[in-house]
Amino acid sequence: MGDVHRLIREHGLEGARARAASKSDRQAIEAAAAIMAEEENRLGITHAGFAMTSLPHKRIEEVLWRREGHRTTLLVESGRDRKGQFVGVPYGSFARLILLYLQTEAVRTGSPEVELGRSMKAWMGRMSLTTGGRTYQLVTEQARRISACRLTFFFARENGAEARHNGAFVQDAISFAGVIDDEDQPTLWQDKVRLDEGFWRSLREHPVPVREEAIKAISNRSLAIDVYIWLAYRLHALAKPTPVSWSALHGQFGAGFRLARQLKPTFLEALKLALAVYPEARVEPERDGILLLPSPPAVPRQEARRLGIT
């Protein structure tokens, strides 16, 4: 299809839509148009471990989730409820969005204690997420899973040593008030929640800046979110073109796909969306995988520096 941003600039949004050859092309055009129309650049923060690994995209029955990326391994263990039943591992877009908010606010304020209440509700509105009906149920379920689970990051260092971070996402449960506010909507959250100390410490050591508007534009596609965060982490740090094989991509992104070749069409669609919201990214699909090229950061360095991120 070519460069969607150039297509929109040359032919306008309607002209670009008319030239879309597939549904995935149309989705990429819509995402790119959303980014191009944004006048504000809001900074989001996520842990670098989620640039190299990820949570499940769909509900899983297993109570232990393991993903491995470049020098990074993530283990997520389901917590239990008061009856001893497994709560389940967090998954999908809503789990990623909740965690993005918690991590961003903690780094922005310099405190592991994150305000929820109306702040979280306002952020959900900014991300075009409603707080009623089906969305409310999905957010509630993922918050419950996030509150209960345990996680471990393993980082392999260049000297062969291994760093390990044990902990959880939050110290206590993200609870729900269950009362009605003045807009006849349920108030989703208690006033504050505190990040787990180990996770907070690791987040400060390994933050990745992303564009909140980019996440918003692809917020219903969890694989596209993961690919975008991965590119935001890797591309600006590259010194030379770097090939990534389909085997490596399958190891990091291929949960649910038995073979690397089965992942390819789904990954390429997600990549197309990620590139639509990261126009500075330079990535070339190849027969044996993809080629990553040194690129400007997803978030301008001066914006990241304002939060002390270099």
pLDDT tens per residue across span 105-114: 999 999 999 9
Integer angstrom CA distances of residue 141 from 32, 120, 135, 162:
30, 16, 10, 34
> pLDDT band at 240, cuts 50/70/90?
very high
DSSP string over 143-171: HHHHHH-EEEEEEE-TTS-EEEEEEESBS
What's this model's pTM, rounded to 2 decimal places?
0.89
Look at residue 69 in the predicted model and tell me its pLDDT. Answer: 83
Greater model confidence, 9 or 132 = 9
pLDDT tens per residue across span 145-183: 999 999 998 988 877 788 888 889 999 877 765 544 445
85: left (phi over 0), alpha (psi -120 to 50) or beta: beta
Average pLDDT of the residues in 175-194 = 58
Look at residue 233 in the predicted model and tell me its pLDDT. Answer: 95
Sorted by sequence, the CB contacts under 8 Å of residue 157 that are 6+ apart come out as 71, 163
Q: What is the mean pLDDT of the chain?
A: 88
The region of weakest confidence among 126-135, 151-160, 201-210, 283-292 is 126-135
Determine contact, residues 238/73, Cβ cutoff 8 Å. no
Inter-axis angle of helices 133-148 and 92-109, to 10 degrees?
70
User: With 60 as the cut, is the pLDDT of residue 62 above it?
Assistant: yes
The region of weakest confidence among 67-76, 79-88, 275-284 is 67-76
Convert 187-229 into a string of H (helix), E (strand) and C (coil).
CCCCCEEEECHHHHHHHHHCEEEEEHHHHHHCCCCHHHHHHHH
Average pLDDT of the residues in 58-81 = 92
Average pLDDT of the residues in 126-137 = 73
Determine contact, residues 98/222, Cβ cutoff 8 Å. no
Average pLDDT of the residues in 65-83 = 91
Phi (first) and psi of residue 46, to 5 degrees: -140, 160
With CA atoms as reference, report the closest residue to 72 among 55, 49, 54, 56.
Answer: 49
Sorted by sequence, the CB contacts under 8 Å of residue 29 that are 6+ apart come out as 4, 7, 8, 13, 16, 17, 20, 276
Q: How many residues does the chain have?
A: 310
In sequence order, what are the beta bridge partners of 67?
74
Look at residue 131 in the predicted model and tell me its pLDDT. Answer: 61
Look at residue 105 in the predicted model and tell me its pLDDT. Answer: 92
